Structure 1
Amino acid sequence: MPMLLNPYISFRDSAEEAMTFYRSVFGGELSISRFSEYGAGDPAERDKVMHSMLTTGTGMVLMASDTPDGMEQTVGDNVSISVSGDDEALMRGWWEALAEGGTVSMPLEEAPWGGLFGMCTDRFGVHWMLSIGDAGS
């Protein structure tokens, strides 16, 4: 699989509505996974969007999710860059470089959906999400 670089937008309870709107604008196929599919602990959040992906016929990919109630979410600070791929050695090197001098909000480790996943903010304030292996889909 080639390396993919995509915008990832975090919403507060409106990811499905927003992504449905973006599909109406850009076309394409929209997939949505809910927290309930991965054993969400809080019953109030089971139907929220854990991950959604819009893939257009022009090759554009846009991803989004709902931010759980227990996590801070600020409009204007709610866009991350998602990098997905299979080359674990290369991507671990990227992870280490991006995290150095920054803040790790979720360590790069096995994800419930497969593969490895981690989130960090680099020293310049840019939010990153890295998915290695199965986590990139």
Structure 2
Amino acid sequence: MMARLNPYINFLDNARAALEFYQSVFGGELTVSTFAEYGQADDPADADKVMHGQLEGDGGILLMAADTPSHMQPAAETSNISISLSGPFADDATLRGYWEKLSTSGAVTVPLEVAPWGDAFGMCVDGFGVNWLVNIGGPAQG
């Protein structure tokens, strides 16, 4: 068995919109289940909230997300987690495409440019408040 580590992002009330946005960025198949579908909507206001959403994006990207049910709010408004996207120089166009979509939805905190270690690196916060790091390996020397 191979273990898999992937981000699971919690949102207050916009997990569905966030997952749909991430599908527009990463492609792939999105599945979404609500609290009502699992019989877990103790508060009627939670019925249509996302209990579990999963995006199987292109190239092996996997993101999961959920809305925070009302009985668990208020949730923290800031996060100490960033999601890192990285790959070799051969994936430059793909990674820059992800960067463009993620960064234009929110704000750039570090521009995507060549870093002291030779890779292209940038940081942004997307329109849903999620922190992203993008690292594109430098061209092969030889």
TM range (shorter): 0.5 to 0.7
Counterpart CA distance in 1 for 2:60 and 2:26 is 11
The alignment partner of 1:39 has SS state of coil
Residues of 1 paired with 2:81 and 2:9: CA distance? Answer: 5
Q: Which has the higher contact order (CA 8 A, sep 6+)?
A: 1
Task: Identify the residue that residue 77 of structure 1 maps to in structure 2.
Answer: 79
TM-score normalised to the size of structure 2? Answer: 0.52
How many Å separate the matches in 1 of 2:39 and 2:25?
32
Paired residues in the alignment total 81
Q: Which has the larger radius of gyration?
A: 2
Residue of structure 2 equivalent to 1:15: 15
Deviations along 1:12-69, one digit per CA (max 9) or x if unpaired, are 1000000100100111110001101111222211110000010112001001000011
Q: How does 1:9-88 map to 2 (within 5 A)?
A: 9-40=9-40, 41-71=42-72, 72-77=74-79
Q: After TM superposition, which residue ranges in structure 1, 4 or more long, deviate above 6 angstroms?
A: none
Instruction: Please report the TM-score for the alignment, with normalisation by the length of structure 1.
Output: 0.54
Structure-1 residue corresponding to 2:5: 5
For residues 36 and 78 of structure 2, what CA distance do their matches in structure 1 show?
A: 28
Q: Which amino acid aligns with 1:46?
A: A
Q: CA RMSD in A?
A: 2.1
**Contact 2:43 2:70 (8 Å CA) reproduced:** no
Q: CA deviation at 1:78?
A: 7.8
Question: Sequence identity, in percent?
Answer: 54
> For structure 1, which runs of at least 5 residues remain unmatched after alignment?
81-137
Greater strand percent: which structure?
A: 1
| Unpaired runs of at least 5, structure 2 | 83-142
Instruction: Give the 3-state SS of the residue equivalent to 1:36 in structure 2.
Output: coil
